[in-house]
Amino acid sequence: MALVNIDQVHKYYGDLHVLKGVDLKINAGEVVSIIGRSGSGKSTLLRCMNGLEAYQEGAIIVDNKEVSSDEKQVRLLARSVGMVFQSFNLFPHLTVGENIMLAPKLVLKLSSKEARELALDKLTKVGLAEKIDEYPDCLSGGQQQRVAIARALAMSPKVLLCDEITSALDPELVGEVLRVLEQLAADGMTLILVTHEMNFARDVGDRVVFMHQGKVWESGPAKAVFAQPSTPELQSFISAVL
């Protein structure tokens, strides 16, 4: 069975039908880029995969466990699905280390010493070990986003979801975050990235999924999808963004 199985998922916000039968399977170790116009349902799909939003029909199964927005399930899920957001969401009153240690202490019941060692290990992975006792405000946006990635990694997720994590960054800071993702991909991490970085999607991603009007409109190997989009909707999207 694939690591992530999304089967005929429908999601409504009131009367608004946002996901209209999404099917998607993602294997362990795959790097999948989700692209598509604003409003096509990309963020909603990630939020459903993480249990942050309920869906009304179909099933999402991650690591053999069905995702539901039931509170207990969400806590369980937090161990297998990590998520990084556009806006970092670090706690400003906690140091970098404390931000990372929070969930391992609360959820995994690690001691302060164990949690700090874990934080240091993950910070080393993103190249920021020396920032462990700084406050987020003292870091650049790119560094804060790398801390947010380290925080997600501290829970040893089976899959890491990233929702436009470079979109809020100044252009000169995008590269350092993409390099961290590239390293994670090389290490075998399963990554699902909603991204506007088309070069990254094409060159680092294994697969590209194009969402349109709440559906997976087209998907395939990254290079092939960009070289030969088969639907007019993807053709026009690619010519608009490349």
By the criterion CB under 6 A, which residues form the site for ligand ADP?
13, 16, 18, 36, 38-44
Smallest distance from the beta carbon of 100 to ligand ADP, in angstroms?
Answer: 27
Pick between residue 43 and residue 50 the one whose CB is nearest to Mg ion: 43
Smallest distance from the beta carbon of 43 to Mg ion, in angstroms?
Answer: 3
- Region binding Mg ion by CB under 5 A among candidate stretches 37-45, 65-73, 140-148, 218-226: 37-45
CA angle (162, 23, 182) in 5-degree steps: 30
Smallest distance from the beta carbon of 48 to Mg ion, in angstroms?
Answer: 13
Residue 43 lies near Mg ion (rule: CB under 5 A): yes
Smallest distance from the beta carbon of 216 to ligand ADP, in angstroms?
Answer: 12
Pick between residue 41 and residue 157 the one whose CB is nearest to ligand ADP: 41
Cα dihedral 219/156/180/3 (nearest 10): -10
Pick between residue 16 and residue 242 the one whose CB is nearest to ligand ADP: 16
Residue 143 lies near Mg ion (rule: CB under 5 A): no
Return the HEC string of the chain: CCCEEEEEEEEEECCEEEEEEEEEEECCCCEEEEECCCCCCHHHHHHHHCCCCCCCEEEEEECCEECCCCHHHHHHHCCCEEEECCCCCCCCCCCHHHHHHHHHHHCCCCCHHHHHHHHHHHHHHCCCHHHCCCCHHHCCHHHHHHHHHHHHHCCCCCEEEEECCCCCCCHHHHHHHHHHHHHHHHCCCEEEEECCCHHHHHHCCCEEEEEECCEEEEEEEHHHHHHCCCCHHHHHHHHHHC
Pick between residue 12 and residue 135 the one whose CB is nearest to ligand ADP: 12
- Region binding Mg ion by CB under 5 A among candidate stretches 41-49, 133-141, 169-177, 182-190: 41-49
| Nearest partner of 194 among 159, 215, 163, judged by Cα | 163
Smallest distance from the beta carbon of 44 to ligand ADP, in angstroms?
Answer: 3
Pick between residue 88 and residue 237 the one whose CB is nearest to ligand ADP: 237
Pick between residue 39 and residue 188 the one whose CB is nearest to ligand ADP: 39
Residue 64 partner contact from ligand ADP, Mg ion, none using kind-dependent CB cut-offs of 5 to 8 Å: none
Smallest distance from the beta carbon of 46 to ligand ADP, in angstroms?
Answer: 8
Which residues contribute to the site for Mg ion (CB under 5 A)? 42-43
